[in-house]
Structure 1
Amino acid sequence: MAKYQRILGGEKNDLTGKPFTKEELEKVGDLYIEINGQGIHENNPKIHNLANELNRTIRSVENQLLGFRAVHTGKSGRANFNSLIPKIWKEKNTQVEKVEVLKERELFDEFKFRISSQLKNILGKNLITDDFVAVFELVKNSFDAHAKKVKIIFDKDKITIWDDGKGMNRRDIIDKWLFIAYSAKNEGVEDIEFQEDKNISYRDRINPNRSYAGQKGIGRMGSDRLGSKLDMTTRKVNDDTYWNLKFDWDEYEDDALDEFSDIEIEYKNSKTTNFEDFENGLILQISNLRNVWSRKKLLI
């Protein structure tokens, strides 16, 4: 294009002297991002095109671009600029940062495994195909947590497994219970806090090498086999906080494109609990049962 010729006295049109609107400045901000803050001069054809679109003078659009650069870089050179520019730039810059994060993921995470929420079915009700095995796995985990007593309560549409084991704090829940396929027992770090404890699990006395699903870090998924909802309450020995987490396993089945880790888990913590005589351990309340537990079935 022909070199821009400055007009003596300054280029003017019908909008000269009128402040740029927010909508106009957003378009100027988009152009600033597009050109990466470079080439802000009156001969840039992109500035000409935007000036024509906004019916603004080339020099006025250039001035607003310089205003964005002043806010972006924090450097002097444009002391007076539209008061809307800092706010608009903050909004635009946040969007740009998100785009850059996505670009980085495309570049660096392209060959990493992504895990569909459907993994829940594979490790839960599809793998543990027997109700009794599912209950066994959960009870086994209780004794592995140094429980001396485990209660299994069958209600009309709820199964409760209540133990008096060592329980969990926030860090344990995140690093162990919610870390699928990780087994602290298998890694040899489950009982570090209880190395002086002489009350070794009876299964360890019988056969220390025996390995069920629980030792592979997926036995806790047995609750999915039993029912679609899980309400978990726990408190660690010598800790003063009760933690409650609620799982709706059906949420993991809505869309196979959902990622396993993106499903939010409802939780809360408190210094008290509604469960009487519950000082430490783990309580699992499994509801919306998938199968009927008849009297005959319970007596097997």
Structure 2
Amino acid sequence: MKKLKFTIEDKKIAELLGRQNFSTRESAIFELLKNCYDSGSKTCDIYIESNCIKIIDSGDGMNQDDIESNWMHVGKSNKGYKNEQNNRVLAGSKGVGRFALARLGNSAKVISKKEKEIAVIWETDWLTSGVKETSVDFSKGTIIEISDLRDIWRWKNVETLITFISRAYKGGDMKIHVHFEGETYNIYPIFEGIKMGENYVSKITMRYDSGKMRLSVTIESDEFRSEVKEIIKPISERYYEDVFDMINEIKKDEVEEPEQYLKELGDFSAELYFYLGRIGIGKEKFMYKHNEINKLDTGVILYRNAFSISSLDGKKDWLDIASRARLSPAAATHRTGNWRVRQNQLFGFVMIDKNKNPMLKDLANRQGLEEDEYYQLFKNIIGFGLSRFERYRQSIIKKIDDKNKIKNKQKENNKNLKHFLNKPTTVTKMSEKELVSLVDEIKDIQREAKEQSQAREESTKQHKYDVRILNVLATQGLRASAIAHELHNKRNSLESGYKNIIEALEEYGFWEELNSDEFTRVAYKNVPQTLERLEEINIKLIAFLDVILNKIEKNKFSQKIKSIKNSLEKIVETWSQQYTWLNFKLNIKNDKIGEFRITNDVLEVIFDNLILNSIQHNELKDKLIIKISVEINGNTINVEYGDNGIGLSKKYVKEPKRILEVHETSRDDGHGLGMWIVNNTLHMYEGEVVEIDGNQGFNMNFNLKG
């Protein structure tokens, strides 16, 4: 077979790899200054004129052989990992960056010289290109001249370019200068010199160790005043640090072979900065230290070594921060929901390496990564690290909010204001001290009104968030009940079907033959065994019908229970009938209801979810013992629940109460709503989870009030 090579027209390839590959003029210039960096230059000067752009460096330069063998060879790159002479990690690798010239202008020339060699000049109009020797007045380096520009350059365009490069270049060993209309502008990396308390209030540092598959998360914060120390003990308002085994955090439905992917992903780091925005009336309430912060409007930038490859202009939300917030819109004061940082509250950067992270592949225009499984895993790990900050901060806010509620209940009556409202004319007889006190009381009421208004808004968001989740569950329940009603009409067939089939087969004389060795040798042709399995399924279906139809009876939501013991015994009896391998031990220390008022549905929601959680995590056990101990003190029910199962997954051992958060689960097919519903229900009845221990079986102490 005759060997052939593709022939591509110069103008067409310039169009595809130049004008269409580099979406903006800034990204095209950025691509060219990478070449300056790779050449080892200590400086890069960009001159922008009305009809010409010049980019000058003092790097290694090129000779005629470099032009013919490398520069003119599309898709070929002679750049490895590092320039050993200056220890720079090289940015180029795809051999298409030179076509950024075509994005900027219709004509270009490159004048270049290697040290102690003859200079060359390469010219093109994208129809024809040529190279020849020339003479220059510098010892080494390269001058790029682009003419017949495609864009008009004004000051606002130059300003955009300066901001773009300051975001996109993070190195410090090449100085970049932009020259325009006689002025020189020095460009500094945008994160250089930022300070806590001025540009952000909290810094989240993440370091991923692929060898150990561990993520370390460190938080430094200056958000709150020092007075919160006593309120939030034992939490520190200034510092948090922990290490997490990511093999325990990644589900198989996210990555099929998590261990392999976690190791191949490679080491990386991130530094994210949080700022709250304008505080307003909440500053005193939550003891915020700073009122206004001059944050950087960069978004989260992804760098591969010295150069950005995503969110170069600060607009791309490649970590999906906004989506995370929309999925969990709970306020930080929400008792059971998860607060998520908003997109406009976060900026910073993530660092990857050309050699350490080869599985994270650049797009052709090097303005992003290929969105494959490694990319998704990479984002998930960063998202997990960010969730540790969200959880840490929310725990502080909740404790402060609890303190505020207690404080509000203990407030003294506004004596002067009440006296004034009862008899307004007394204001003329008030002393200066009483008038000042009256004014303070009125200001307090105004402030409280504003705070209550804000609290109502937060409460509305919280309820919307809860209702969204519960609506999904309710809809699934209604669908299940509709099917249950249909099956209930065929209950007789489900109960007697197995028996009727066997009796018919015996009557026709087939049953004995079907049980012989000849007809039971092959499993899928074993009729008696198949019928037995169908009978087991029928029994489960009947139990399912009883549960579903019983749970939605209207009276369950209105009739107050008369005995905790009787209600729990009914719950236990139902589960025991469905799961013969369960063994319940009830200990009701005090069953005097007294002033306590609660309906059956509340107890069923709590204990059904707890029991179901125990079953689902211990399906391989032959026998499971569940202990429930209850004691009533006044209007409070104290409960100790435990099982002798496998206990909590490794990822929850250090932070067991994490299982109460919405969508937290260690099961690949789990939804993570069961324990959240338990916790939510307890809070509805002014209760709380006191303690969770998952080391020897699962044990949880909680209370609720009525």
TM-score, length basis structure 2: 0.22
TM-score, length basis structure 1: 0.49
